Structures are given as structure tokens and as C-alpha cells.
């Protein structure tokens, strides 16, 4: 089966920028107070629901995966980029990281207590989001929790200039309306329990939405 071209673009781009990405991306402790609080709330909710494995999907070099582990979760990371996974394993040798795609997760049905998709689904073309969200639903156990965060807009399709150290990249980003994301998540069988929208601030050009969801019991 031929791999979708956007997956190839994402993999090759993040393999290229991985080292500079690790140097430049904000650490969880450097995030704004609301973003840190939402990650903490997600971790507390997973623990209160009984705990269990939590997948950080699109984990990059594992910084947020390690943060979740520090909040008491049994977190592991999955990323499309082998180079990112190499850096994650080197930086956080006590955690598990694997190469994989959100379109076809190598994770058993109903096995996860939680999923974090943190700025990691925006490269997915809108028509393929139902496939990704379906994988979220399939792998979450009944009562399992999803936190999805990322930039949103009015449907803009963004092809960035050179990124993270000036490296050329070929991926595209899609800034979709929050209402569309909620609709697609609900169609996939997930219940949106909370949403937070952060308006653009200095140095940030787009709104951010964070959605907390649950797979029904």
C-alpha cells in the first residue's frame, strides 16, 4: 500500500529539523501558565480514572512525554520521525518511544488510559482526520481520556518557510475551526468534555484550542 504523500513529507521534514527542533522548542516548564495547567489537569484526570498507559502521539523528542511521566503517568511516546525517536530515546532513556503513525497505531484496542495529541495533528489533511480520530477511539479504553491541542483558524492551509534552524521543510499545516474539530471527534465516538481557546498574543499568530475528550463507558 502506497504511503500518503503528506506522511512522507512530515517524516522527512522532521528528520531534517530534529536536532535544531530539540534546541529551540519550549520545554514544558517554559509554557504559559494555562498550557501547563491543562497538562496537569489531564494528568490528574487520568490518575483519578484509575491510571494506566498513556500515549503521547507525535511526541517529537519526548519532552512532553517526560513531563507527563513526571506528573505520575505511565507515559510512552510515538512519532513518525525516526530521528525524533532517536533523540527521545537518547534524552529520556528511562521511557519507551517507538516509530509509528497516528493513521495506523500499533496499539491494542481499548488499551490506553489516555492519549495526548499535543500540536501533532495539524499536518493531517482534514479529510484524513476521521481516520486519526478513529484510531484514538479504537485504542482508548472505555472511560479513557484524550487531550488534543493545537493551532486553529478558519481553514487556512499553511506551507511554512524554512523552519527550526533554517532547514527546508515540505509539510503543510491546516488551521481548522475548533467547531469542525469537535464535530469530527464526536463523529468518531468521543465526547468533548471541555475546551479552552487562547487568543493570539505577541509572537503567536494564531489561536490555540485545547480539547479534553472521553471515550464513553
> pTM value?
0.96
What is the predicted pLDDT for the residue at 2? 75
Q: Are 148 and 211 in contact (CB under 8 A)?
A: yes
What is the predicted pLDDT for the residue at 52? 98
* Residue 203 banded pLDDT, cuts 50, 70, 90: low
* Per-chain mean pLDDT for the chain: 95
Q: How far is Cα 119 from Cα 128, in angstroms, rounded to an integer?
A: 16
pLDDT tens-digit map of 5-45 = 999 999 999 999 999 999 999 999 999 999 999 999 999 99
* 111: phi then psi, degrees, rounded to nearest 5: -110, -10
* Residue 79 banded pLDDT, cuts 50, 70, 90: very high
pLDDT tens-digit map of 104-131 = 999 999 999 999 999 999 999 999 999 9
**Average pLDDT of span 50-56:** 97
What is the predicted pLDDT for the residue at 204? 67
Q: Report CA-CA distances (Å) from 199 to 150, 185, 192.
A: 12, 22, 20
Between residues 166 and 82, the one the model is more confident about: 82
**Average pLDDT of span 60-82:** 98
- Classify residue 176 by its DSSP letter: -
What is the predicted pLDDT for the residue at 165? 86
What is the predicted pLDDT for the residue at 1? 59
Q: In the chain, at which residue ranges do the beta strands (DSSP E only) sit?
A: 53-57, 74-79, 97-99, 112-118, 140-152, 156-158, 173-175, 191-198, 207-214
What is the predicted pLDDT for the residue at 115? 98
Residue 164's region, left for phi above 0, alpha for psi from -120 to 50, else beta, is left
pLDDT at residue 191 above 80?
yes
pLDDT at residue 67 above 70?
yes
**Average pLDDT of span 189-205:** 88
pLDDT tens-digit map of 147-171 = 999 999 999 999 877 888 899 999 9
Query: Which of 72, 181, 194, 74 is CA-nearest to residue 136?
Result: 181
Q: How far is Cα 15 from Cα 168, in angstroms, rounded to an integer?
A: 11
Please return the burial class of 9, using the count of CB atoms within 10 Å of its CB with bins 0-12, 13-18 and 19+. Answer: middle
Q: How far is Cα 107 from Cα 144, in angstroms, rounded to an integer?
A: 14
Amino acid at each position: 500500500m502506497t504511503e500518503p504523500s503528506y506522511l512522507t513529507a512530515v517524516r522527512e521534514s522532521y528528520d531534517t529539523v530534529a536536532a535544531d527542533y530539540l534546541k529551540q522548542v519550549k520545554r514544558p516548564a517554559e509554557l504559559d501558565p494555562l498550557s501547563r495547567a491543562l497538562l496537569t489537569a489531564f494528568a490528574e484526570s487520568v490518575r483519578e480514572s484509575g491510571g494506566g498507559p498513556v500515549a503521547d502521539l507525535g511526541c517529537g523528542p519526548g519532552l512532553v512525554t517526560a513531563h507527563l511521566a513526571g506528573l505520575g503517568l505511565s507515559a510512552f511516546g510515538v512519532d513518525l520521525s525516526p530521528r525524533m525517536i532517536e533523540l527521545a530515546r537518547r534524552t529520556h532513556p528511562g521511557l519507551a518511544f517507538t516509530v509509528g503513525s497516528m493513521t495506523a497505531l500499533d496499539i491494542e484496542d481499548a488499551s490506553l488510559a489516555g492519549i495526548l495529541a499535543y500540536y501533532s495533528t495539524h499536518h493531517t489533511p482534514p479529510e484524513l482526520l476521521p481516520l486519526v480520530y478513529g484510531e484514538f477511539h479504537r485504542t482508548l479504553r472505555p472511560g479513557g481520556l484524550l487531550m488534543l491541542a493545537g493551532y486553529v483558524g478558519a481553514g487556512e492551509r499553511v506551507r511554512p518557510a524554512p523552519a527550526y534552524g533554517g532547514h527546508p521543510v515540505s509539510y503543510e499545516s491546516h488551521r481548522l475551526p475548533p467547531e469542525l474539530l469537535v464535530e469530527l471527534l464526536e463523529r468518531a465516538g468521543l465526547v468533548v468534555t471541555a475546551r479552552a481557546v487562547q487568543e493570539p498574543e505577541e509572537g503567536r499568530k494564531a489561536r490555540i484550542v485545547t480539547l479534553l475528550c472521553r471515550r464513553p463507558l
